[in-house]
Structure 1
């Protein structure tokens, strides 16, 4: 009952007034191939992070525009150019902090997995066990600083665009391992019915994804940033984000299996 009361308060609380015209709307984009957090649907995007973020902004009284702008690197470039205002559910690192203002409150936990062929590399327990092997990452992805440093130290790691191509290369023995988010990887594996062919050799718990505004938008609309963060924390505490991740994971799996 207490949770329901809090939820009602979140929804019916008086909408704040944002005087600056720029602060009455916001443009969102995200990784086009990162379920259950977000994925491309035509010229727009869908997923847990899109649903949660869009809902919060609308309850703040903003006009929300969700745009597909291209691959992940182009999303980041669009943020650098201020062509978009907000990216949900991405890893926080020092390079991205140069042009993005990350929320203090994380969006969700997002463990990282090193995937291998099921019958191989059975003795892999830590990253160093993969040294010298052929690896790949989804182009533009960043994980923890320790994981990124390891991958950068490996000359035989390729940046390949798209989950499908990375997993195909692994299945076809063009690579020995593929590094991506554990939730993302598992959703793809289940949807593709390759559970018996691919397994996570290493799962690193702890990494989280955060939401981020461009520096320009955060500077111009600090009240939006503050209100968003407060409501994000409330919805996270109520379990709404966890529920959205579960719901959209099932939805994407069903879509991908058809």
Structure 2
């Protein structure tokens, strides 16, 4: 009988722990924000997410899907609890966004110097072939302009997109300046890739919770922890560490098991 009681207690404990897990979805193709080393998700995004939810007494389960659009769809349906994303009116219908941002990001245009662009404003991009990732949004003005022009080829990952730009199959990529510049540093043919001074959008990446998740009722707690991490300088320090880790990984990749 004692053994049965012990087994019951253990099973209840496992059930309670499972209930405390938070499903965080990411598409890890944005160093130093998030990327995969082939075995684990790395970057500042998973680090911030784990720290925030740990402060709430919750474990973060990292979920990686085929593309960013899948993450957003699963968040809308409540199959995952949280994502790190830009806030847009459309996304606010199914996501509750933290008021305290994680990072400020500038979106710009990357091009191949062998095929220079004549671009001074967003509308000028409609003359060229662009490449974007499924589910991405780069500001209302840009989104509307490319939707009307129909000049975008959609792909699942940044490596494919930058590869097409290097080979001249597309003329430009809209991408975060910080992550794009870091990504092409060690990319074969990346020496031909340049970024325009033009900023398509300046926005902030925010931790967002599915409105179908119980966590949506705890946004005030999430904001308090994000504010603490910001004020303490932890997020800025983690960003620098993430950049250094990515560069080290590229120069000396970890052995695969």
Task: Quickly name the TM-score band, shorter chain normalised.
Answer: 0.7 to 0.9
- Residues 163 and 221 of structure 1: is their aligned pair in 2 closer, same or farther, counting only changes over 3 Å? closer
Q: Trace 1:1-258 onto structure 2 (pairs within 5 A).
A: 24-41=20-37, 45-88=41-84, 90-121=85-116, 123-192=118-187, 194-204=189-199, 206-217=202-213, 220-222=214-216, 224-257=218-251, 258=253
TM-score where L is the length of structure 2: 0.83
Query: Hey, which bits of structure 1, 4+ residues long, moved more than 4 A?
Result: 20-23, 41-44
Q: Could you tell me whether the CA contact under 8 Å between 2:95 and 2:209 is conserved in 1?
A: yes
Paired with 2:167 and 2:215, the residues of 1 have a C-alpha distance of 49
Aligned-partner SS, 2:22: strand
- Given that 2:76 and 2:212 are in contact with CA atoms closer than 8 Å, whether structure 1 keeps it comes out as no
Match of 1:6 in 2: none
1:105, distance to aligned residue in structure 2 (A)? 1.4
- The Cα shift of 1:215 comes to 0.1
Number of residue equivalences: 236
Can you list the C-alpha shifts for 1:130-168, whole angstroms capped at 9, x where unaligned?
231111112221111122122212222111221111111
Larger Rg: 2
Alpha carbons 2:30, 2:179 under 8 Å: kept: yes
TM-score (norm 1): 0.82
Instruction: State the alpha-carbon separation in 2 of the partners of residues 234 and 21 from structure 1.
Output: 26
CA distance in 2, matches of 1:56, 1:181: 24
Unaligned runs of 5+ in 2: 1-15
Query: 1:111 touches 1:203 (CA, 8 Å); kept in 2?
Result: no
